[in-house]
Structure 1
């Protein structure tokens, strides 16, 4: 049978089933890596037959591509809510610190997605790296525009693109630390030190 055409009592709709299959795939990737993903493995863990999986995804590459697209879009949507829009609105230091705090919180709330984006496991399909590169480009462009004013009149960034790249690299590494060693690098420690760095830059 193909994709379910309509929701029936006790049955998932096509959209719900697709989401479930992607969630199962994501779980397998997190626990065992991309190499462990197969149509059979996904069907078994989802409690459905292989034809059901094929009804939603043409083949294994199609399934993995759908997962990558969903997780990439999810990560970008989360970032969009925390990126500063213009440092001229309020205190620049507070804006940047708030953006990092939001980024860390988003990663902690959805760690599997952010591990896929920031620490792609071995065997990750090339489309994942391509998706990450596209998403990173969009984030850098938005961040460069936001930080262009710098810390105020006369203190504008001489190179917003490079400034955005350095800030983004710093923030990404901070998230990796929180995801891989949260006891040694809790968000509070990272935010406290970042506040000190920004304070030094602002007063310098």
Structure 2
């Protein structure tokens, strides 16, 4: 009597792929339930991986959380860098500023869980979360300051404005916009913010 054919063994998931799967599961739990919900068992269930597989990816909750924060912080910085249009000699300042805003808000909608972690941290978030958020905001402020300095000779009226305070003000509006887009996207849409930005820039034009 012939032996039944053995089922082919599934290839083991590469460690790098498994780590990403574990980090994605942890991020989903964080945004839904906060940091108190993060246990290795909860992540095992969320990722649909056996607990030993989760431990093989990360030895415990603390290094896993640090890896989540590191990854999402790097993603945020990359998004901010990509959101800033190239400031060419023939570019229009108003169009460039509005494009930067739209690009950033589009990125927020494309990666809501990542941005929720930074813009809407849970009450029980560790200090590293706020440090990552602050680093992202400093990076954004520097990019805005560079854009404003480039536009000083292109936009009438900028020459008399304190660019440092203007960059801080624009950043505050951008943070607020990101939070509103995450919590109430129907009322605070990207199109609404674009119209607001265009109207504000038009109102600031010299008469």
Same fold, TM-score > 0.5, yes or no? yes
SS in structure 2 at match of 1:124: coil
Match of residue 118 from structure 1: 119
TM-score by length of 2: 0.86
Q: CA deviation at 1:120?
A: 0.6
Find the residue that maps to 1:144 and give its secondary structure: helix
Tell me which structure has the larger Cα radius of gyration. Answer: 2
In structure 2, do the counterparts of structure 1 residues 89 and 65 end up closer, same or farther at CA, with 3 Å as the change threshold?
Answer: farther
- Of 141, 152, 174, which aligns to 2:177? 174
Show structure 1 runs of 5+ residues with no match. 1-7
- Deviation by residue 1:154-186 (Cα, 9 ceiling, x = unmatched): 743643322211111111111211211112122
Q: Does residue 202 of structure 1 match 2:205?
A: yes
Once residues 107 and 12 of structure 2 are traced to their aligned partners in structure 1, the CA distance between those partners, rounded to angstroms, is 32
Q: Which residue of 1 aligns with 2:72?
A: 71
State the alpha-carbon separation in 2 of the partners of residues 143 and 74 from structure 1. Answer: 18
The farther-off stretch of 133-142 and 58-67 is 133-142
Of 33-42 and 80-89, the range deviating more from structure 2: 80-89
Q: Which moved more, 1:72-81 or 1:148-157?
A: 148-157
Give runs of aligned pairs for residues 1-204 of structure 1, distance below 5 A: 9-86=10-87, 89-152=90-153, 155-156=158-159, 158-203=161-206
Does the C-alpha gap of structure 1 residues 89 and 37 become closer, same or farther in structure 2, counting only changes over 3 Å? farther
SS at match of 1:15: helix
**Structure 2 CA distance for aligned equivalents of residues 202 and 68 of structure 1:** 42
Q: What is the number of residues matched between the two proteins?
A: 197
- Tell me the alpha carbon deviations over residues 46-70 of structure 1, each in whole angstroms, 9 at most, x when there is no partner: 2333332222223211111110111
